[in-house]
Amino acid sequence: MTRIESETQYNSAMQRINELLDVVNDNTPEDDVRSVELVLLSNLVADYEDIHYPISKPTLIEVLKLRMYELGLSQCALAAMLGMNQSKISEIISGKSEPTLKQARKMAQKLNISPAIVLGV
Region 78-104: mean pLDDT is: 93
What per-residue confidence (pLDDT) applies to 62? 94
Are residues 65 and 42 part of one domain? no
CATH of the domain at 66: 1.10.260.40
Q: How many domains does the chain have?
A: 2
Region 78-95: mean pLDDT is: 94
Name the average pLDDT for the chain. Answer: 93
Q: Indicate the helix (H) or strand (E) that contains 65.
A: helix 60-71
Residue 101, pLDDT > 80, answer: yes
The stretches of the chain forming alpha helices (DSSP H) are 7-21, 33-52, 60-71, 75-82, 86-93, 101-111, 115-119
Region 100-109: mean pLDDT is: 92
Are residues 65 and 101 part of one domain? yes
The verdict on residue 88 lying in a domain is: yes
Q: How many residues does the chain have?
A: 121
Residue 23, pLDDT > 70, answer: yes
The verdict on residue 38 lying in a domain is: yes
**Higher-confidence residue: 116 or 18?**
18
Are residues 77 and 34 part of one domain? no
Are residues 36 and 75 part of one domain? no
The verdict on residue 2 lying in a domain is: no
Region 6-20: mean pLDDT is: 96
Residue 1, pLDDT > 70, answer: no
The verdict on residue 11 lying in a domain is: yes
- DSSP secondary structure letter of residue 53: S
The verdict on residue 85 lying in a domain is: yes
Residue 74, pLDDT > 90, answer: yes
Domain that holds residue 26: 7-52
The verdict on residue 1 lying in a domain is: no
Are residues 114 and 64 part of one domain? yes
The verdict on residue 21 lying in a domain is: yes
